[in-house]
Structure 1
Amino acid sequence: MVQNRWVAWAAFVVAVVALLVSGYLSGFGTLPLLGVHEAVFAYTSFTAFVLVSGVLFARKFVEPSPDPLDERVTAIVPTYEDAAVLHHSVESLATADHPVDVVVVCEPDDPEGRETAEGFAEEYATVEVLVNPRPGSKAGGVNAAVERADTDYFGVFDADQSIRSGFFDEVTGHLRADDVVQARFVPRPDGHVESLAYDEFTLFGHCFRQLLYALTGFRMATSKALVFSRDAIDTVGGYDPEMVSEDYDFAHRCYLNRVDVKMRYTTVVDEEAAHTLRDWWGQRKRWMTGNTQVLHRLLTELPENADDHRYYLSLAVGVMSVGGAAFLVSLVPKALVLIELGKPHVAVLPLVAIYLVALGVRLADDRDLGAWFVLTPLVLPFFSLITTKAIAEYCFDFEGEWFAVEKGAGDGETAKGD
């Protein structure tokens, strides 16, 4: 409803103003035990958080690969209006140096995507097409493909993702000790907005989660660039079609059900980035809306193992992931406080830390910097605003409507959100 949308916008504006004002006013306070201004503590502690996270992340970049499994893998590629980019996933999977069956899950109202997928099925004997028996649900399509397959190991990939040579040899060996293996997927930084999206995902999607992983044992298992066993998907119960971010919900249920997830950062999968700021905003807001929905479920629907300490840690992860991202915008006005206190050099510390981490990952990935690299720190308040908007919309205007992200030559990836 239009009225609800205006309420959501008003709630967003009020929340942002409150965060900015409280961040500024609280910055002048003096912490009793430390004897320093809150703004100084906030900026130095955040700098330490970024650097420690960066060091933990860097340690994951050197990791040997165990001997691969010889088992055949069913690679599932859900697609909707992705005809222009479907070749990225299908061709790289169909020509992989490992026995792989490729199942492209098409939507019944996407004739162009289905025609493209059927063309690949004619070209490659290992490719087949499945029309999604639960239209409009990526989760339902993946679940259906798993149920139909006769293999014990699976992979899920987005239509615009492309694996590199040796992908399955690098990841499948870990399935001997773990139930799920998550490869590192990154946007292709082939433009200005795309470059910022790459750095934003480096920071929020990977780096900033390292302390959380180290302290809780929680691991993010998504619905793309993921390899898992049948036992794992059966234990968790598949992906939930009712959740906007079915992957974030899946990660929490893996954790709650003690399904072991291995993060494989040295194995990189490239994917299409958002090409405009509008698409970047809409795509990220969809993700954070889904994360808020998962947090709501954790708060209101106690699982059977609610007495297990993992439930409370899972709840803490949800609060920190959503609340922490929204709270970041309150750091911005503290820079003004530091200037007024005559300590502008402290305000520079987080910027230096962010540049160092982002630069290190780019060098490790052999990516060019580009002119827009200088704007990398801005992705933090930008993402914080997105999260705040997502929370406001979930509370006042959540209807699960679709948002289209332009990919390839004008074809879009649909995602629930606005």
Structure 2
Amino acid sequence: MVPREANIVVIGGGVLGTSTAFHLAAAGHDRIVLLDRGPIAGGTTPFAAGQTSYLPSNERLLPFTSYCLDFFEQFEEKTGYAINFHQNGSLRVALSEQHVPGLHARMEMAKSIGDRAEWLTPQQAHDLVPGLDVSGAKGILLAPRDGFVEPRSVAASYAAGARDRGVTICTRTAVTGIDMADGAVRTVRTAAGNIQTRWVVLAAGAWTRQFSQQLGLNIRTVPVRHQAFVTAPLAGVTERQPVVRIVDTQVYARPEAGGLLVGGYGYRPLSFDMDAFPNRFEIPDLEADQIYYQQLTDAAVQNFPVLQDAGIIQERRGLPTMTPDGQYMVSEVDDIQGLVIVAGCQVGGIWSSPGLGRVAADIISGQESIPAAAFKANRFDEAYAHDAALRTQCEQVYAVHYWDMY
């Protein structure tokens, strides 16, 4: 059974929902219920790369990214639970002059916060990452405070911290609907009973648009397939080597259990309508696109020759949510009082989860600690109102994710 009443109901037990529940409880809210039809840290969360990216290309996002980084650096102090934040730094590599301005923009952001980002030579980059060959690179930026985490542990720790602060967590509890009265949320219906509430936070990942459509809303976010793979252990890979992002080919790589976790953007982007899947569909059921994997491997081998004959021990794929402008979506909606949307993770839900959870909690608390005007759900007006146009645009945003075009 679920509680019959709550002040706030959070729908979604992935990293965005658990972060929101934690931040709400930490802000002093009570009678919070977190619901998910599966376990905590399900959905796309466990298949993420878990990489941070604290230097944006524009200063508008700097307060948001700074909050996220500070939170990860103090995660145990804030939540009571430790995560293994491998703060190895990251290398952002421009192979052509076209993408060098993006590196300079990030260097300016580093200077503005007193960070010690550095320019590296190709040899210095190779010394840090022995399997990396970027001998013709036009620019290489080292962001020393970046790193990566095991994604499932982040959501699990948020949930544990939320539970310790009084949040009721109900897993294996499917939400069947949301009832309204006088333009406001009133009841969340679940397979285990109904919950009367004044606030609902919809953080259902790939299913967020599907849920919102049941309420008569047209939320401009869609899930887009993302794939990565993990290799068997490779000679020369060290657990302390930094994350590498090759801007031109949109490939990333980081150490994982002695091998490399490799992913990338722009390879056969494809969005999905979640209503087209069976009711019992879960993210692990997502069919692999082997052409995507081959194109990704071919691109990665150019700068990581060691991948040429690497054995693949795991394939990862998920359905992160994209928006038409490449910006997060955290806000109330115009037509329904008491409903907060948390979506549009932009294939960076783990990294952005502290900030997105904080913004959602701020909305319900009636305050603003992080500037979030750019995250409003109504920012598109009538643009992308038709499904085909929305999906095409979100696929395009995914296709140029590393190129600072949005």
- Bigger strand fraction: 2
Does TM, normalized by the shorter one, top 0.5?
no
- Bigger helix fraction: 1
- Highest CA radius of gyration, 1 or 2? 1
TM-score (normalised: structure 1): 0.29
TM-score (normalised: structure 2): 0.29
